[in-house]
Structure formats: structure tokens, C-alpha cells
Structure 1
Amino acid sequence: MVLGGTSFVGRAIVEEALRHGADVTLFGRGRTGADLFPGTARLTGDRDTGEYGALRDGRWDAVADVSGYVPRHVGQAMDTIGDRCGRYLFISSHAVYQRSGVGPGSDEDTPRRAPVRHVDSTESLDDETYGPSKVACEDDVLARYGARATLVRPGKVAGPHDPSDTFTYWVRRAARGGRIALPADPAQPVQVIDSRDLAGLVVRLLMDDRPGVYHAVGPAEPTTLGGLIETCARAAGTEAETVRVPPEPGSRMFPLVRPNWPSQQRSPARARAAGLPATPLETTAADVLAWDRERGEPPIRRGYTVQEEEALLARADGKAPAHRTNAAG
């Protein structure tokens, strides 16, 4: 059973499970991906409105919960399913961790933030409540299922069908080549995980019936933001030159730019030992580029517009050193 299996991460998990011959059931609102996975059993419900009646019958060897963000969602799903599942795997987040006093390469035992159970009347999540809400969800899953619980904490996920535009911005921008405005140090380390690698880990953990907590992070070879842009350019066969520019207001949320990113680097050792695959970053970039072009390159919400970037580069001329990224050939 996949709770939320037609959008991005859930979609990748379903594809991987079907590839392994699993008998998959999907639970969702039925509003997206209606043409996906023909012949796969579908149950319709809505976590936002508490419609879980479709889960009252049946039994599953495992449940992969991709769509639980607040304790109410997870609690109602578990209340309805009860003991009619073998293992319950919850997709959590690195946002559960404390934000200070943590060094690079931290493992799954890093101290977490305090849980929050009541977000607000609308259950809207923001930078202050998202992580603590996921902490509360983790605690509830562990309390309910104990040794039958598995927690997976992904890093930034990239791949085809990504709705966030985060990695897609750099893939599309590097494909245009030329001078690229970068409001960060190109040496800033980054971690991104291919959605298909995350799915591979999830399915492997369920097939092996493994309990525990696992970081899903990649790529296998450490990289930097400058290196990521270089890889994206190489995948597109272009030449690019990154030019460091001053951060604009609000650029803390610029795609993959985080002032405290070194402290957010997580160790993938436990997940690798459990079977986490390692798709090369260049392959991820090439596949995202192909998917983005196939869908017609619609407007994206992240990063600079062409006009904004041109203005920043004009101001930076003669003032900022350039970091060469020659990636053609």
C-alpha cells in the first residue's frame, strides 16, 4: 500500500515496487495521475478531510506513507489500518534535526527538534513548523508500530516529475549555458538524491523487512553547488561560467542555496549498507532535462528570471571573480 503514489516520490516508489513484481495498492484523492499504473488497485480518500473509509478493509504486507505531513494525517491513517499491515514505512525529512551544533556527516542519531502536534487551524506548514511536525509524526509511527516501523529521511530529492523546480532550475539554466549568476559560494557542498534511488531504498527496506531510521542522500560522490552546475552543463553539452553575485533579499530560499548547508550534510552510510542505489548526478541531470523539454519547459517558480539575472550580471561585471565551468565535450 502506498499512501500518495501518483506524484513524484510516491510515483517513483510505485514504479520501483511494480518493477519488483509487487502487488501494489494506491490510496489517494484520485485527482492526479489517473492515467498512471493501469490495472493497479486504487482506493480513494482524502487526508485533508479525514476520509479513510476505503482503508477499513484489506491487509497489506507493508505500507509506504509518502503523504503524511502533520500528526493528524498519520494518526488517522494508522487508526484506520490498525494491525492489518506488516511494516509501516514513513517518509520523513532532514528538517527534523536541530539546526545548530551539528557537524558535517551527521548520522541518524543526531538530536531532533521538539515535536509539534498542533500547527494551526488550517494546518499550514512553514519553516518553523514543518520539521517539528514531522518529528511528531515519526514519534507516533514508532509508538504505534515499534519494531515494525521504518523511517526514511530524504535529503533534497531530484528527478523527473519534480514539482518543486529546485533542481530543475539549475538543469534548465545550465542547459542555456553562458554566464550564470550564483548568489552563493560555488564551493558550498550540496546533497541531492535521485527520486529513483530513494524509491529503490524504500522498496529494498520493505522487501527485507528492515526496521530503523535511514538517511536517503546522494549523490554517491560528494559535490558542490559549482560542481552540480558543471555537471548539469555537461549533461546538456553546454559551456557555462558561474559569476558570484550578492544575495538578494529572500535568496535564502534560492534553489539549493543555504547559508548553513555544511551543517546539514548527512551520512548515507546506514542507507548504503541497506541497499541505497547511487545514480550518477549527470544521469539525473540528463533525465530531468529530457523530461523538462518533453513537458514544454513551463514557467518555474524558483531562481532568477532572465531579466533579473541579466541585471545582476551587469552589476557584477568587473566586481566579482568568475568560476569557470567548461563542460562541453
Structure 2
Amino acid sequence: MDKALILGGTNFIGRNLVTQLLKDVSYELTLFNRANTNPDLFPKTNKLIGDRNTEDIHSISKENWDCIVDLSCYFPETLSKTLQALKSQPKQYVFISTCSVYDNDLQQSTLRNENSPTLICSDTEKIDESPSTYGKRKAECERILKKSGLKYTILRPALVYGKYDKTDRLYYWLYNVKKQNQLLIPNNSGNIFSVTYVNDLVEAIIKSIQMDGLRSDIYNVITYPNLSIALIIDLVSKLVKTDPLVFSVSSNFLKANNIKEWTDLPLWIDNNYFTFNGEKMLNDFQIEPTIIRTSLKETINYYDKLNWQLPKYGIAEKQKLELINKSSL
């Protein structure tokens, strides 16, 4: 039985991963986390409680791990301390990175592959906690792992969605299509972006620790490379049987009214650079990504059980209606 250490494991991606791994009797799981999120989950699973940014991380040195899945590393120093704390080299170190590591200034193109340039991270940015340096910090973590001498798999998902997602980025649109009569979209919602269904990411993680002879490498993990808000609205409206009125406004109108990309209007990026090529993973892992309609249906079923709570992300309904009225003047 292989000993698997999961760094994290009770939030979004980790919760889905651990649920699947517990069905496989060939793994003895241990979770290391702060027990701040869903601490009562997986009561029969081994747990190490601690903050990996402190001396607590040395508790992982008590075992020889066959594989490690790192779901919770956001700072380069955190990864360095984790690697230093290992008693021995695992057979595989799986690091969950992000497609946000790619440098949009150096390469402005669609469907970028794993060889595309990544962001540089300064010493100041390595310890910065703001969202603006997230991709840079993850890119630096990748470089540390590549130089470590460990056998690794680095997985770069795009926007991850599905069961247990608390970010509300995709949910904002699911909720609005299901519950609201009027939608505000940018540029006829023609801008495209890539997404990653959490079930596909979990399958890629499990393949990374199961496949014999897998070399150290980096993979984009992509379910649907060319999604758009318009396609989401079309698919979801058919699934939930609604027909909301759609009002399209220009990027200039939104920016003039201080509407920010991605945060105020979720999934809106005023370019097509957030698209990535996942062919390498599909070929090496022999993974068949979930059909986008199927993944959305399963995600909608999850939110049905939660009774469609008001999204915490994106502009409020009142502001949306004000913008719609203003655009019609």
C-alpha cells in the first residue's frame, strides 16, 4: 500500500480528490492542513494538523511518502520549506499550479502550450499576498520544484469549476441564467477562455501518481479550451429551461462605468489570451475530458441541492439593472 500525503485536501479540489482516492484501497492517505476548512471531513483518514508556513511542516518528516499531492502552496518559500522537510524522496511530487503562470506580455496568442513563456517573480513579489502576484508566485514555485531533483508532475489548470467550488466565478452566470430575467454581457460575449472541470483535474492528479514510467513534466489540464460567456448562457438556459433577455454592451462602456474585468463581471477578459492547449495531457494520460454540457449539468445539479444562494462574486443585481438602463439611453 502506497503512502500518499495530501497537502490540503478539504476544500474544493482537494475534497473532490480525497473522495476519489478513498475509493482506492491501494493508498494509505494522510492529510496535512490547518483544519480550518471542513475539519470534520474524512474522519477515518490520517491527519497531520499544522500550518505549513511554520515549523509545523516538519511533522511530515516522520514518514517516507510514496507520493505527495501539493494543493495548497502559494508562496515560493513555503514550497522550499516543504521540500526541505521531506525525510526521503517520494516517487512522485504532484504540484497543482495554474495557467495564470503564462506571461501575457511576452506572448499574446491563443491556445498556448506548456512551452510558452512564464512570468518572472521578483523577491518582493515572492512574499506579496495580493492576487496580482498569484501567477508570478506559482511560476516561481514551479522553478523551485524543477530544480529540486525530485520526480515531479506540474499540473496547470485554467479556471476550475464544479462541485464544492466556493469562488462563484462560474456560478455567477449559472445563477443569473436560472434566476434573473435580464443579463448584462460584454461584447456579445465573444471573448473566449479555457476552463477545467474539477473531475478532469482530479483524474489527471490520480493518473500522475498511478502511471508507471511517467517522466517529470508539465501539463495544461483543460476540459474546454474555447468557452465563452455566450456559450455558457446558451447551454445553461437550455439545461435550466429559462430564456433571459441578454443586453450586450461594449468594453468601453463597462470600463467607463468602472466595471472591472473578471471580478465585477466574472469570466470577462477583454482579450482571447486565456486559452490553452491541453493536447499533451490528453495524449500522455489518455484522458477523455468531460463534455462541457455534461459538466455544466452536473454542476447545476450540485447547486440545486444548495438551493441557489445569492452569489458573493460579481456586481449586484441592482447595479446590473442600472447599467442596462444606462446603456439604453
In the superposition, the TM-score normalised over structure 1's length comes to: 0.88
CA offset digits 1:71-121 (Å, max 9, x no partner)? 111111111114242111111111211113332121100011113344376
SS of residue paired to 1:270: helix
Q: Does structure 1 residue 244 correspond to structure 2 residue 226? A: no
Moved more, 306-315 or 149-158: 306-315
Task: From the superposition, tell whether residues 299 and 239 of structure 1 become closer, same or farther in structure 2 (CA, over 3 Å).
Answer: closer
Alignment of 1:76-225 (within 5 A): 76-100=81-105, 101-119=107-125, 123-127=128-132, 129-146=133-150, 148-209=151-212, 210=214, 211-219=216-224, 222-225=226-229
Aligned to 1:65: 70
Cα contact 1:2–1:25 (8 A) shared by 2: yes
Aligned to 1:287: 298
SS of residue paired to 2:319: helix
Cα contact 1:191–1:223 (8 A) shared by 2: yes
Cα contact 1:177–1:240 (8 A) shared by 2: yes
SS of residue paired to 1:145: coil
Q: Does structure 1 residue 231 correspond to structure 2 residue 235? A: yes
Aligned to 2:274: 264
> What letter corresponds to residue 107 of structure 1 in structure 2?
N
Give the C-alpha shift of residue 282 in structure 1.
2.5
Cα contact 2:31–2:48 (8 A) shared by 1: yes
Cα separation, 2, equivalents of 1:183 and 1:223:
14
Residue number among 283, 289, 301 corresponding to 1:278 in the alignment: 289
Cα contact 1:28–1:46 (8 A) shared by 2: yes
Cα separation, 2, equivalents of 1:75 and 1:296:
42
Aligned to 2:47: 42
Cα separation, 2, equivalents of 1:116 and 1:14:
34
Runs in 1 of length 4+ with deviation above 6 angstroms?
Answer: none
> What letter corresponds to residue 237 of structure 1 in structure 2?
K
Residue number among 5, 15, 20 corresponding to 1:16 in the alignment: 20
Cα contact 2:34–2:50 (8 A) shared by 1: yes
Moved more, 300-309 or 166-175: 300-309
Give the C-alpha shift of residue 166 in structure 1.
0.2
Task: From the superposition, tell whether residues 47 and 116 of structure 1 become closer, same or farther in structure 2 (CA, over 3 Å).
Answer: farther
Give the C-alpha shift of residue 27 in structure 1.
0.7
Give the C-alpha shift of residue 311 in structure 1.
1.5
Q: State the number of aligned residues.
A: 313
SS of residue paired to 2:234: helix
CA offset digits 1:12-65 (Å, max 9, x no partner)? 221222233332211101122223223111111102334213212112211010
CA offset digits 1:149-197 (Å, max 9, x no partner)? 1111110001121121101111111112532111343221122111111
Q: Does structure 1 residue 27 correspond to structure 2 residue 32? A: yes
Cα separation, 2, equivalents of 1:110 and 1:82:
34
Cα separation, 1, equivalents of 2:28 and 2:122:
35
> What letter corresponds to residue 175 of structure 2 in structure 1?
R
Cα contact 1:201–1:275 (8 A) shared by 2: no
Aligned to 2:322: 311
Cα contact 1:252–1:259 (8 A) shared by 2: yes
Structure 2: gaps spanning 5 or more residues? none
Structure 1: gaps spanning 5 or more residues? 320-329
Moved more, 179-188 or 226-235: 179-188
Cα contact 1:107–1:266 (8 A) shared by 2: yes
In the superposition, the TM-score normalised over structure 2's length comes to: 0.88
Cα contact 1:216–1:276 (8 A) shared by 2: no
> What letter corresponds to residue 122 of structure 2 in structure 1?
V
> What letter corresponds to residue 155 of structure 1 in structure 2?
A
Moved more, 103-112 or 30-39: 30-39
Give the C-alpha shift of residue 241 in structure 1.
3.3
Give the C-alpha shift of residue 143 in structure 1.
1.0
SS of residue paired to 1:271: helix
